[in-house]
Chain A
Amino acid sequence: MFISSENAPPSLKDFTLVMPAVAVGNVAQLAVDLLVSTLNMKLVGYIHTDCLIPMAGNNPYSTCREDAEELHTPAEVYTAPELKLAVLQIRAPIIQKKSKKFRQLIVSWIKTSGFSRTVILSSSHAYQRDDQQMKGTPLRYLVTPSLLKVSADALKELGWREMEQLPAFPGLTEANAESRLSIPGGGITKGLYTDSCAEDLPLAVILLFCSEGDNIPDAFTLVNHLNDWLHLLDNPSQEPNKWKIPPSWSLLFGSGIPPAMF
């Protein structure tokens, strides 16, 4: 359930919501971190639920000593009202048995908040691509019919590649072979997309094929791709370091090395 951090609940009506799916390499979560820290977004509330594994930490986006001591929870909502942008950051894995419940919670929250559109950032296992998917860009998109109605032109102009439907039974070459949508390693991405299609929600999925490892470059790729559509930052590609890396990204590969080793 959404709990406001201020006394008055924030107005999120007609905002664009960007949220990550907890997926391969945590690429989407890293990309959302870049959005929050670069656009200086403000915390407006929490999604308090039993579907996420509890965790807590100090301010992941602190810029100075004064704001470092500030408690942050597994799922938080940030806004940039001047951009009409809201972001839901998820910092913990979903408890496996509760992923369906979590999807329902998110879908009903999206409905009650009145977001004009929702963008799910996600990733999928690179090693499970089929032949056609291995050619060209690793980025894909998906839109629900209700968003396609309003954004068809914009998407056409961007020239993005839609996520391919894969044959349900590879190898069978019948003319009417069944095909299905498959996003391996994408967590709740596919479920959220199909739920939104059924509920007629305007929602898009932007995903990237990748593998586990140092996923920081992937996060930049994904956030730049999102920016091509939403224009949150002007020309970030000209100035490659315009996205601000938050301090919480430090020590991604563990602590310092003992000096006695050398």
Chain B
Amino acid sequence: MATFFGEVLSVYSRAVEEDDEELEENEEDEQIRRELEEKREVHLHWIPEVSDSLKSGNKLPCSEFVLAVGHNAARFLSVYVLTSANWDKVGHASVWNERSRAVAGQTSKESACVFYRHKENPTVLMCQVTSHIAEDQLFQWTEKVFDCLQHRELNVTVLSDSSVADYKTADYLCTSATPFLRSLHTGTFSGKPVCQSLEQPNIVTGLSAAVLNHCQVHRIATVVYQCYSDILGPDSVTMETYKPALTKLGKSIQLASSPNTDVLRKFIQTTEIQSNLYI
């Protein structure tokens, strides 16, 4: 496809070839496909106390659920919230897909999708997701996680990372404008978001979209704060953008006034090492 300025863009067709699936499959192919599908299942692992209560049919009581998707959002929680030692780890989700690194026997400690519960107020839950969840796993992840939570009086806040390259605007964005927040909320959300609403024709995709879809049809009050940043790795300026979103939750989640520098250093250094552009 050629644009107005004549440069040629490679476009992929969104149309699925109609003939592929009609092909006859032999038994071996079918088995491989089935095994792959099983491997791509999302599994939730809760601590014994929680899984026992879930088994007996009692869902996790939850009034506030904060979900952080992406490195900056997740590390924002690590640096500002989880440092207070008021949090218990209650479980994690294991997700395998084409982008998962081949780590044999990965322990729950290393898992990239962890659930925390507030020690004093056990109806406050948090989840950090730093792993990639594939398109076909998003729906399943959301169904499984929300199936464990009590829906009555549940409020969901999603913090999500995004690249400013994905943000469309008629005005040219100067670099000083980034990072910035945009919000999107379900029909049942009654509060006032702390930032501007996401303008058309912008959309959100990925886990935050899956959560929004689920909460919209099940009428759960949910707000997504999407942070558009121009820096790839975790950085302190982008993390700080999320602060107003959680200060609003005030009573349930205590936010440290300044980032915990020890924790911050750990996350920032790991990405610095990888950049060897100018040694």
Known: A68-B197, A100-B21. A212 touches B203 (CB 8 A): no
Q: Which residues of A, 61-105, contact B by the 8 Å Cβ criterion?
A: 62, 68-71, 73-74, 93-100
Q: In the complex, A58 Cα to B183 Cα: how many Å?
A: 10
B18's contact among A93, A188, A257, by CB below 8 Å, is which?
A: A188
Q: In the complex, A253 Cα to B2 Cα: how many Å?
A: 11
Q: Are B135 and A95 in contact (CB under 8 A)?
A: yes
Q: Are A56 and B204 in contact (CB under 8 A)?
A: yes
Q: In the complex, A188 Cα to B214 Cα: how many Å?
A: 25
Q: Are B1 and A54 in contact (CB under 8 A)?
A: no
Q: Are B136 and A54 in contact (CB under 8 A)?
A: no
Give the number of residues in B that approach A within 8 Å (Cβ atoms).
Answer: 50
Q: Are A95 and B13 in contact (CB under 8 A)?
A: no
Among the 9-residue stretches A113-121, A138-146, A178-186, A227-235, the one with 4 or more Cβ atoms under 8 Å from chain B is A178-186
Q: Considering residues B1, B139, B184, which has the most beta carbons from chain A within 10 angstroms of its beta carbon?
A: B139
Q: Enumerate chain B residues within 8 angstroms of A10, measured Cβ to Cβ.
A: none
Contact pattern, A 113-143, Cβ under 8 Å of B = 1, otherwise 0: 0000000000100000000000000000000
Q: In the complex, A184 Cα to B19 Cα: how many Å?
A: 8
The answer, yes or no, to whether B14 is at the interface (CB within 8 Å) is: yes
Q: In the complex, A184 Cα to B18 Cα: how many Å?
A: 7
A247's contact among B1, B138, B200, by CB below 8 Å, is which?
A: B200
Q: Are B198 and A58 in contact (CB under 8 A)?
A: yes
B118, chain A: closest CB distance, angstroms: 28
The answer, yes or no, to whether A170 is at the interface (CB within 8 Å) is: no
Q: Are A58 and B184 in contact (CB under 8 A)?
A: yes
A24, chain B: closest CB distance, angstroms: 5
Q: Which residues of B, 32-46, contact A by the 8 Å Cβ criterion?
A: none
Complex: chain B residue closest to A52, CB-CB: B139
Q: Are B204 and A57 in contact (CB under 8 A)?
A: yes
Q: In the complex, A122 Cα to B152 Cα: how many Å?
A: 42
Q: In the complex, A232 Cα to B212 Cα: how many Å?
A: 33
Q: In the complex, A57 Cα to B205 Cα: how many Å?
A: 9
Contact pattern, B 199-215, Cβ under 8 Å of A = 1, otherwise 0: 11111111011101110
The answer, yes or no, to whether B140 is at the interface (CB within 8 Å) is: yes
Q: Are B200 and A57 in contact (CB under 8 A)?
A: yes
Q: Enumerate chain A residues within 8 angstroms of B184, measured Cβ to Cβ.
A: 56-58, 71
Q: Which residues of A, 206-262, contact B by the 8 Å Cβ criterion?
A: 212-213, 247-259
Q: Are B135 and A185 in contact (CB under 8 A)?
A: no
Q: Enumerate chain A residues within 8 angstroms of B11, measured Cβ to Cβ.
A: 212
Complex: chain A residue closest to B205, CB-CB: A55
Q: Which residues of A, 29-49, contact B by the 8 Å Cβ criterion?
A: 46, 48-49
Known: A3-B217, A24-B15, A71-B216. A253 touches B200 (CB 8 A): no
Q: In the complex, A153 Cα to B69 Cα: how many Å?
A: 56
The answer, yes or no, to whether B170 is at the interface (CB within 8 Å) is: yes
Q: Are B136 and A98 in contact (CB under 8 A)?
A: yes
Q: Are B15 and A185 in contact (CB under 8 A)?
A: yes
Complex: chain B residue closest to A185, CB-CB: B15
Q: Are B200 and A58 in contact (CB under 8 A)?
A: yes
Q: Are B172 and A259 in contact (CB under 8 A)?
A: yes
Counted as pairs of residues, one from A and one from B, with CB atoms less than 8 Å apart, the total is 143
Give the number of residues in A that approach B within 8 Å (Cβ atoms).
Answer: 57
Q: In the complex, A212 Cα to B172 Cα: how many Å?
A: 27
Known: A73-B216, A250-B200. A187 touches B15 (CB 8 A): yes
Q: Are A54 and B201 in contact (CB under 8 A)?
A: no
Q: Enumerate chain A residues within 8 angstroms of B16, measured Cβ to Cβ.
A: 22, 93-94, 96, 99, 187-188
Q: Enumerate chain A residues within 8 angstroms of B224, measured Cβ to Cβ.
A: 56
Complex: chain B residue closest to A23, CB-CB: B15
Q: In the complex, A254 Cα to B138 Cα: how many Å?
A: 27
The answer, yes or no, to whether B186 is at the interface (CB within 8 Å) is: yes
Contact pattern, B 207-243, Cβ under 8 Å of A = 1, otherwise 0: 0111011101100000010000000000000000000
Q: Which residues of B, 1-38, contact A by the 8 Å Cβ criterion?
A: 1-4, 11, 13-18, 20-21
Q: Are B17 and A247 in contact (CB under 8 A)?
A: no
Q: Are A62 and B200 in contact (CB under 8 A)?
A: yes
The answer, yes or no, to whether B92 is at the interface (CB within 8 Å) is: no
B159, chain A: closest CB distance, angstroms: 15
Q: In the complex, A74 Cα to B203 Cα: how many Å?
A: 11
Known: A54-B206, A99-B16. A249 touches B213 (CB 8 A): no
Complex: chain B residue closest to A250, CB-CB: B201
A190's contact among B3, B18, B173, B200, by CB below 8 Å, is which?
A: B18
The answer, yes or no, to whether A154 is at the interface (CB within 8 Å) is: no
Q: In the complex, A60 Cα to B201 Cα: how many Å?
A: 7
6 A-B residue pairs with Cβ-Cβ distance under 8 Å, sorted by A, are: A46-B217, A50-B139, A53-B205, A56-B216, A71-B184, A256-B169
Q: A56-B213, A71-B185, A256-B171 are in contact. List 15 more A-B contacts (CB 8 A).
A: A54-B206, A54-B213, A55-B203, A56-B184, A57-B184, A58-B197, A58-B198, A59-B200, A68-B197, A68-B199, A96-B20, A100-B21, A255-B173, A256-B169, A256-B170
